[in-house]
Amino acid sequence: MIRCIALDDEPFALQQIGAYIDKTPFLEKVALFNSALDVMETLSDSQIDLMFVDIDMPDISGMELVKALENPPKVIFTTAYSDYAVDGFRVEALDYLLKPISYPDFYKSANRAKSWFEMNQSGPTHVKNEEQFLLMKSDYRIVRINFKEITYIEAMGEYVKINLTGNKPIMTLLSMKLLEDQLPVDQFMRIHRSYIVNLTKISIIERNRIVFDGKVYLPVSEQYKNKFQAWVNKNFI
């Protein structure tokens, strides 16, 4: 996911960009701003990958804002005028969108950003196994995930969702097979083509399903049933 913010002093234009971000599967909306000064504070506290910035702003323009940042995120400018393109590319903007902005135009521009990140920053996700934790890419950052924090892992298309105890889940572009191969076999088990569980986190097994937190029911499929039953028998008193 590409973490985004948007800046525009026009409420309607700002809400429209926000709605477009929500509609685009590979974008994550972090915040919307109508003040450049508020953006600076957020950039110092949060990891932001992409900014949609209106050029024509009071007090400080979007162009001046980007030029003032020491290490700005990638930028897509929005403007009602067509004569800013040269200045935009001088600050290495990925694109600029001419208002009024349609969703097809927005999506084309966002997809250009996605291609840039894939080419320059992401590449294949790498998993590094160092004893009791993994290092992996998520949202264009490298994050550390301790084995003991993982409850279960769920396949979601080309991504996997790593559910953690006491923290928000982490999404990463990775195959279940590659991740499974990196996990210690005495602690983790594949129970379904879509699920890997942390065996140390299992407290309830009900009708061939593993129950987490009393509300998440993970089925054990026929393909993995015998292996899982062997583990149950080994630990059954």
Q: Are residues 108 and 132 in the same domain?
A: no
117 and 90 in a common domain: yes
How much is the pLDDT for 200?
Answer: 93
Query: Are 65 and 168 part of one and the same domain?
Result: no
Same domain membership, residue 111 and residue 14: yes
162 and 189 inside one domain: yes
Q: Are residues 53 and 138 in the same domain?
A: no
CATH of the domain at 108: 3.40.50.2300
Residues 117 and 147 in one domain: no
Same domain? 115 vs 7: yes
Give the CA-trace dihedral at 11, 14, 20, 22, to 10 degrees: -90
pLDDT of amino acid 130: 54
Contact 151, 198 (CB under 8 A): yes
Looking at the structure, tell me whether residues 97 and 141 fall in a common domain: no
3-state secondary structure labels for all residues of 102-171: CHHHHHHHHHHHHHHHHHHHHCCCCCEECCCEEEEEECCEEEEEEHHHEEEEEEECCEEEEEECCCCCEE
Residues 72 and 146 reside in one and the same domain:
no
Report the CATH number at residue 148.
2.40.50.1020
Strand partners, 159: 156, 173
Torsion angle, alpha carbons of 145, 146, 152, 157, to 10: 20
**How many domains does one find in the chain?**
2
How far apart are alpha carbons 132 and 118 in whole angstroms?
Answer: 29
Q: Give the predicted TM-score (pTM) of the model.
A: 0.52
- Which of 84, 101, 122 is the C-terminal boundary of a domain? 122
* Structural domain boundaries, residue 164: 128-235
User: Cα 47 from chain centroid?
Assistant: 11
Model pLDDT, residue 140: 64
Last residue of a domain, one of 82, 97, 122: 122
Among 122, 147, 171, where does a domain finish? 122
Do 135 and 187 have their domain in common?
A: yes
Same domain, 165 and 64: no
Q: What 3-state DSSP class applies to 97?
A: strand
Give, for all 237 residues of the chain, the pLDDT tens digit: 888 999 999 999 999 999 999 999 999 999 999 988 788 777 766 778 899 999 888 778 788 888 888 778 889 999 887 665 445 445 678 888 999 999 999 999 999 898 888 766 544 455 555 568 888 877 667 788 999 999 999 998 777 899 999 888 998 877 888 888 889 889 999 999 999 999 999 989 998 899 998 889 999 999 999 999 999 998 887
Residue 101 to residue 106: CA distance in whole angstroms: 7
Confidence at residue 210, expressed as pLDDT on a 0 to 100 scale: 95
